[in-house]
Amino acid sequence: MQLLLQQIMAGLANGAIYALVALAVVMIFLAIDHLNFAQGEMATFSTFIAWQLIHWGLPYWLAFIAVVAVSFIGGIAIERVLFKPLHHAPILASLVGFIALFSILNSGDGYIWDYTIKEFPTPFGNKPLFGSVLIDTHEAGMIGVTVILLGLLYLFFSGTRLGLAMRAAAANPESARLVGIRVGWMTALGWGLAAAIGAVAGMLIAPVVFLEPNMMFGVLLYGFAGAVLGGLTSPAGAVLGGFAVGVIENLAATFIPYVGRDLKLTIALVVIVAVLMVRPTGIFGRSVMSRV
């Protein structure tokens, strides 16, 4: 029983990160109808910047805030420079754009910071939380920061005019233009937010998986699985999906014989394939109909 609870808590901690990555993916998907394959590499790059700042002696939380801000601006810049010109391009052109972004960032990490594995600090420590064996302080911190971030995003999207404008632009770009919303800038803002959310995810997971250029590869796969499970068109669904995938992953690795650590990543792919076969729109997603 205790093992089960322990694994569920650990799953929720990892799931928090998958939830953030899934949310970042969905945010860009809603704006431009493409999956951002480079989401993980963007997050890794941000995490390297954080590592560098902390290495130079900046306090953790100062570096954290600076990196979130830099990532936000970087996300906007990527949209303006790379993807705005591809807006009306065929799908393959966008795909190549994502691959280019992926490899530029991935190689950039290695070129600037080399490929050796780096330790990344955690501000929460690694002690048992309140003496409990169920969860340690870093895991609790991952969940706590994620919940705070999700709360802030919810307030932003439901309670501010800019959030409303962003939702409108993603849901119905033509009508959004007809009320005067600058849809292109809303897309750029979505990229900025996705990059900032990814940066938080990267900085939270780095102490667990250690920092190196391919750090987010597995995380992104789990994030995709969470997004597909919850529904690529539903931000809240993607968040729930991310948490669910984290728990499923941990329980499967612990309780299903033969899966263990080695086949853990396969779980993500099994989830993706199973959802696509049974309910392609995900649990909370909706099908998009288009007139031709």
Partner 1 sequence: MMLEVAGLEAFYGEQQALFGVGFDLDTRQVRTLLGANGAGKTTVLRALCGMVRTGGDIRFDGKSISGRATEDIVRLGVAHVPEGRGTFVRLTVEENLQLGAITRRDHTAIAADIEQIYHHFPRLKERRTQQAGLLSGGEQQMLAIGRALMLRPRLLLLDEPSFGLAPLVVEELFAILRRVNLDTGVAMLIVEQNAALALEFAEYAYLIETGRIVMNGPAANIAADEGVRRAYLGY
CB of 229 to partner 1, least distance (A): 21
Q: Tell me which of 160, 182, 263, 280 binds partner 1, using CB under 8 A.
A: 182
User: Strand (E) positions, the chain?
Assistant: none
- If the CB atoms of residues 165 and 196 are measured against partner 1, the closer one turns out to be 165
Coil/strand/helix, residue 118: strand
- If the CB atoms of residues 165 and 219 are measured against partner 1, the closer one turns out to be 165
CB of 164 to partner 1, least distance (A): 6
Q: Tell me which of 3, 178, 288, 289 binds partner 1, using CB under 8 A.
A: 178
- If the CB atoms of residues 103 and 160 are measured against partner 1, the closer one turns out to be 160
100 phi and psi angles, rounded to 5 deg: -60, -45
- If the CB atoms of residues 171 and 263 are measured against partner 1, the closer one turns out to be 171
Task: Report how many residues bind partner 1 under the rule CB under 8 A.
Answer: 17
The pair of structure tokens assigned to 10 is: 């650990």
- If the CB atoms of residues 66 and 168 are measured against partner 1, the closer one turns out to be 168
Residue carrying structure tokens 């796969």: 221
Following CA atoms 103, 11, 135, 200 in sequence, which dihedral angle do they give, to the nearest 10 degrees? 30
- If the CB atoms of residues 8 and 176 are measured against partner 1, the closer one turns out to be 176
223-262 residues in contact with partner 1 (CB under 8 A) are none
Contact between 181 and partner 1 by CB under 8 A: the answer reads yes
Q: Cα–Cα distance between 16 and 240 in angstroms, integer?
A: 9
CB of 31 to partner 1, least distance (A): 15
Sign of the Cα pseudo-torsion (205, 209, 212, 214, in order): negative
Contact between 281 and partner 1 by CB under 8 A: the answer reads no
Contact between 183 and partner 1 by CB under 8 A: the answer reads yes
How many C-beta atoms surround the C-beta of residue 246 within 10 A? 24
- If the CB atoms of residues 80 and 177 are measured against partner 1, the closer one turns out to be 177
Sign of the Cα pseudo-torsion (94, 100, 103, 105, in order): negative
- If the CB atoms of residues 186 and 225 are measured against partner 1, the closer one turns out to be 186
CB of 167 to partner 1, least distance (A): 7
CB of 174 to partner 1, least distance (A): 7
Residues 6+ apart with CB under 8 A from 67: 46, 47, 49, 50, 53, 199, 203
Could you report how far apart the first and last alpha carbons of the chain are, in Å? 55
Contact between 265 and partner 1 by CB under 8 A: the answer reads no
Following CA atoms 8, 264, 274, 15 in sequence, which dihedral angle do they give, to the nearest 10 degrees? 40
Crossing angle of helices 183-209/137-159, nearest 10°?
Answer: 170
Helix/strand/coil percentages in the chain, nearest 5: 75, 0, 25
Contact between 266 and partner 1 by CB under 8 A: the answer reads no
CB of 177 to partner 1, least distance (A): 4
138-177 residues in contact with partner 1 (CB under 8 A) are 161, 164-165, 167-168, 171-172, 174-177
Kindly list the residues in this chain that would bind partner 1 in the complex (CB under 8 A): 161, 164-165, 167-168, 171-172, 174-183
